[in-house]
Amino acid sequence: MKFLRHGARGAEKPGLLDQDGRVRDLSAHVADITGTCLTRDGLDALRALDPASLPLVAGTPQDDLRLGACVGGVGKFLAVGLNYADHAAEAGMEVPAEPILFTKWTSCIAGPDDDLALPAGSTATDWEVELGIVIGDGGRDIAPDDAARHIAGYCVINDISERDWQLRRGGTWDKGKGYDGFGPIGPWLVTADEVPDPRALRLWLEVDGRRFQDGTTATMVFGPEEIVAYASRFATLHPGDVIATGTPPGVGMGQKPPVYLRRGQVMRLGIDGLGQQRQRVV
């Protein structure tokens, strides 16, 4: 199933995408697409619904119908750095021996097609297409062999990053990763049963039609199950938490010379089977 949130910013309603690409409203069954309905029991209840019986929502998603982030009420937005061997090489850094965890503040979360407002004074705002994990059943000290049972589904994330703030402003990545709008999520959450192999997905990103990133999750150093198990050693994971899993090569920082976003440009990005995003830089 593909779950989404539709409507005006701050007033999104829960929905799903049917087989014909139309949005069906779930408001009569759940208040929002949050952790409450993403546990195994919650998803089972939603799977029992007949999509054809749900009200159709007027408009075409990502055209004249705005979509919000596909998960609401996110408690933790975690991310993994340098998780693609070829991206680590691009950055001139060693492949990490264990996952590099950092946080993106939840106030950075945006809809998949919302405009990106450059921070005042920014000179190095960059892009990163990433596979996102959405936690279903929570847990602490999850065993790697059991981690798949804790994943509700997957989504597209653009881990937007201000590189000067990330790398040159006191040694913490969070300042460069958590600015408002730096976390577009969606367009939809695709349940894990519809993603047979999350390590065999093509992901790509373009700026003004120029393809910068064109990679595959096969080059991830740590896979989704390893990441979930590892993160759960340091914090209890809760339903609806989101984890960005790293990016393939082709980021702006890795170009020679580096290339960064400017007002008026448009980013397009996507992952096979998980949908696409589009952000205009303003």
Identify the band that residue 243 occupies on the pLDDT scale cut at 50, 70 and 90.
very high
Mean of the per-residue pLDDT values for the chain? 96
Predicted TM-score (pTM) of this structure = 0.96
- What pLDDT sits at residue 9? 96
Question: What three-state secondary structure class fits 32?
Answer: coil
158-191 burial string, b = 16+ CB within 10 Å, else e?
bbbbbbbbbbeeeeebebbbbbebbbbbbbbbbb
pLDDT of 140 above 90: yes
CA dihedral of 139, 28, 71, 192, whole degrees rounded to 10: 60
Min mean pLDDT across 3-7, 91-95, 197-201, 264-268 is at 91-95
Q: What pLDDT, in 10s, does the model give residues 6-45?
A: 999 999 999 999 999 999 999 999 999 999 999 999 999 9
| Interatomic CA distance for residues 37 and 152, integer angstroms | 10
The mean pLDDT value for 166-173 works out to: 82
- What pLDDT sits at residue 89? 79
Domain ranges of the chain: 72-280
pLDDT of 88 above 90: no
- What pLDDT sits at residue 67? 98
The set of residues, in sequence order, having a beta carbon less than 8 Å from that of 6 and lying 6+ positions away, is: 12, 13, 15, 23, 25, 57, 61, 65, 66, 67, 68
| Interatomic CA distance for residues 122 and 199, integer angstroms | 34
- What pLDDT sits at residue 122? 93
Superfamily of segment(s) 72-280: Fumarylacetoacetase-like, C-terminal domain (3.90.850.10)
The mean pLDDT value for 74-78 works out to: 98
| Interatomic CA distance for residues 238 and 140, integer angstroms | 9
Tokens of 85: 């061997």
